[in-house]
């Protein structure tokens, strides 16, 4: 699956798509593939604050429970309610229907410090070696 080039990525395999001061966050195709079948997603409530680099939830698969780390600092505006009944959307649509949360960014410039699609591709390639 090709990486969306207008998203930014973390070395912990999260992505963010920013539109103005709002960011949509999810996990990458590489991450969901590594995890296997996702059976549960735990995310923060709307109104809570997430902090860049800190865990804000978990993704549970048949293999393991993995922490999800915030790529930016912000306030949670919305949680993807579809994941409560269909957590497998993270597997089938990691960059679209399988998003996790929407946040209002505290500092939109934080995104500039994240990996571009090309940087993330290179990071994954190096990790596989």
Q: Residue 96: give its domain's CATH number.
A: 2.40.50.100
Would you say residue 121 lies in a domain? no
Q: Is residue 57 part of a domain?
A: yes
- Residue 103 β-bridge partners: 23, 76
Residue 112 lies in a domain: no
- 3-class SS at 42? strand
pLDDT of residue 41: 97
DSSP, res 45: P
pLDDT score at 26: 98
Tally of structural domains, the chain:
1
| CA triple 127-41-83, angle to 5 deg | 115
Q: Within a domain: residue 86?
A: yes
Q: Report how far apart, in Å, the C-alpha atoms of 87 and of each of 6, 18, 48, 92, 96 are.
A: 24, 23, 21, 10, 13
Phi, psi of 35 (to 5 degrees): -75, -35
Whole-structure pTM value: 0.96
Which pLDDT value is given to residue 2? Answer: 86
pLDDT score of 1: 78
69 lies in which domain range? 12-107
- Structural domain contains residue 35: yes
| Bridge partners for 107 per DSSP | none
pLDDT, residue 86, reads 97
pLDDT of residue 129: 85
**19 lies in a domain?**
yes
Angstrom CA distances, 105 to 5, 41, 56, stand at 20, 22, 15
3-state secondary structure of 64: coil
pLDDT for 127: 85
Q: What is the pLDDT along the chain (129 residues), one digit of tens a residue?
A: 789 999 999 999 999 999 999 999 999 999 999 999 999 999 999 999 999 999 999 999 999 999 999 999 999 999 999 999 999 999 999 999 999 999 999 999 999 999 999 999 999 999 888
pLDDT at position 44, please? 97
């Amino acid at each position: 699956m090709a990486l969306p080039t207008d998203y930014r990525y973390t070395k912990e395999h999260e992505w963010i798509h920013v539109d103005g001061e709002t960011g949509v966050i999810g996990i990458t195709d590489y991450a969901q593939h590594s995890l296997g079948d996702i059976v549960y997603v735990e995310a923060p409530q709307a109104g809570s604050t997430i902090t860049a680099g800190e865990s804000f939830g978990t993704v549970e698969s048949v293999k393991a429970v993995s922490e999800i780390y915030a790529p930016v600092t912000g306030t949670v505006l919305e949680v993807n309610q579809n994941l409560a009944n269909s957590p497998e959307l993270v597997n089938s649509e990691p960059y679209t229907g399988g998003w996790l949360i929407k946040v209002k960014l505290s500092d939109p410039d934080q995104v500039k410090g994240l990996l571009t699609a090309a940087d993330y591709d290179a990071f994954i390639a190096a990790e596989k070696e």
